[in-house]
Amino acid sequence: MKEQIEQIKENAIQELQEVKDAKELNDVKVKYLGKKGELTEVLRGMGGLSPEERPIIGSLVNVVRDEIEKIISEKEEEYKQEELNKKLKTEKIDITLPSEKVKRGSKHPLNRIIEEVEDLFVSMGYDVVDGPELETDEYCFERLNLPKDHPARDMQDSFYITPEYLLRTQTSAVQARVMMNNEEKTPIRVICPGKVYRRDEDATHSHQFAQVEGLVIDKDISLADLKGTLEVFMKKMLGENTKLRFRPSYFPFTEPSYEVDVTCFKCGGKGCNLCKQTGWIELLGSGMVHPNVLEMNGYDPKVYTGFAFGTGLDRLAMFKYGITDIRLLYQNDVRFLNQFDRMD
């Protein structure tokens, strides 16, 4: 049996020396070491040996197998290296070729404005809150001092879903929610940016647009606080030279109420086509929170006062970036949006 094993070894080594490629190498491997390989067969036949012979032959087989395996793995390594060298030679990469252009998304101009407004007010200690876009008539109108038969409801053409639910026409709806949700009736300082909806559509009106609402309630809040806040707001957004003009107006939820104009950012107040030669652009609604609104939402108007304001974020974006048609903000035309990709 010993001779048989030696013979196998010799044959295997001989054949391994003649092997020309990885496939042939594998064939030899299978022939000698595989499940039905010659060495494996020898191990199987060991049952017929005497107990004394068995360990001797067993260890001889092991030695021979190790030897053959060693040669095989060296050859395998050799072929692998050869294969790799071949690849390195043939698959050359030309690192001087220009790379493929990576298409980068850009931040939507409206989101830029919203983030800027949020950062500014958060830095002044405000919380940013939101409310549902599908709103109840109660929060959108009633709790803001607009009872069902109030003529001011005609000011806004609304999308009613049912007699009770509508797409909110103003972020002012969140004011009432914030007041109602504050169970301890503690002071409030919030802004509420979000989408609103009205039955409008032309170059300066879209059926969906964005507003931001501000609400501050505390003891001893006065008109001076409102004026100071809006001045900081507008100067930060439109430039330090911006001037503000407060015009008396009417909103059901504030008393007194003001519309706020800013000096035209294009001509600086001299008069141009953007401001229709007036030098001013109307940008905000504002006022002192109406005592009825405070009371209806659980705040004692004898103890608390507050101010509120609201403005269109689309309008701000249009002014800031010189956009002439509001619908561009909602059409997702990449030719338009790509213009904002190098602003950071």
Looking at the Cβ atoms of 37 and 310, the one nearer to ligand DAH is: 310
* Amino acid occupying residue 199: R
Looking at the Cβ atoms of 15 and 200, the one nearer to ligand DAH is: 200
Which part of the chain contacts ligand DAH (CB under 6 A), choosing from 20-28, 66-74, 108-116, 251-259? 251-259
Binding status of residue 310 toward ligand DAH by CB under 6 A: yes
Looking at the Cβ atoms of 210 and 238, the one nearer to ligand DAH is: 210
Tell the smallest beta-carbon distance from residue 172 to ligand DAH (Å). Answer: 4
Give the span between the Cα atoms of 271 and 229, in whole angstroms: 26
**Among 145, 159, 148, 173, which residue's Cα sits nearest to residue 250?**
145
Binding status of residue 229 toward ligand DAH by CB under 6 A: no
Which part of the chain contacts ligand DAH (CB under 6 A), choosing from 1-9, 30-38, 183-191, 283-291? 283-291
Scan for tokens 């017929």, then name that residue: 48
Q: Which of 264, 309, 313, 319 binds ligand DAH (CB under 6 A)?
A: 309
Binding status of residue 314 toward ligand DAH by CB under 6 A: no
DSSP 19-59: --SHHHHHHHHHHHHSTT-HHHHHHHGGGGS-TTHHHHHHH
Binding status of residue 285 toward ligand DAH by CB under 6 A: yes
Report 29-58 residues binding ligand DAH (CB under 6 A).
none
Looking at the Cβ atoms of 140 and 238, the one nearer to ligand DAH is: 140
SS3 label, residue 142: helix
**Among 259, 258, 257, 254, which residue's Cα sits nearest to residue 305?**
254
Binding status of residue 287 toward ligand DAH by CB under 6 A: yes
Binding status of residue 254 toward ligand DAH by CB under 6 A: yes
Tell the smallest beta-carbon distance from residue 213 to ligand DAH (Å). Answer: 5
Q: 242: buried, middle or exposed (CB in 10 Å: 19+, 13-18, 0-12)?
A: buried
Two tokens, residue 27:
């064939």
Give the span between the Cα atoms of 166 and 112, in whole angstroms: 28
Q: Which of 110, 114, 230, 308 binds ligand DAH (CB under 6 A)?
A: 308
Binding status of residue 306 toward ligand DAH by CB under 6 A: no
3-state secondary structure labels for all residues of 60-95 = HHHHHHHHHHHHHHHHHHHHHHHHHHHHHHHCCCCC
Which part of the chain contacts ligand DAH (CB under 6 A), choosing from 183-191, 200-208, 262-270, 280-288? 280-288
Binding status of residue 172 toward ligand DAH by CB under 6 A: yes
Tell the smallest beta-carbon distance from residue 157 to ligand DAH (Å). Answer: 12
Tell the smallest beta-carbon distance from residue 275 to ligand DAH (Å). Answer: 20
Give the span between the Cα atoms of 229 and 217, in whole angstroms: 13
Kindly report the backbone phi and psi dihedral angles of residue 54, in degrees, each rounded to the nearest multiple of 5, phi listed first. -50, -50
Give the span between the Cα atoms of 96 and 249, in whole angstroms: 66
Tell the smallest beta-carbon distance from residue 334 to ligand DAH (Å). Answer: 31
Q: 135: buried, middle or exposed (CB in 10 Å: 19+, 13-18, 0-12)?
A: buried
Q: Which of 286, 318, 326, 328 binds ligand DAH (CB under 6 A)?
A: 286
Which part of the chain contacts ligand DAH (CB under 6 A), choosing from 39-47, 135-143, 160-168, 249-257? 249-257
SS3 label, residue 18: helix
Task: Give the footprint of ligand DAH on this chain (CB under 6 A).
Answer: 170, 172, 213, 251, 253-254, 285-287, 308-310
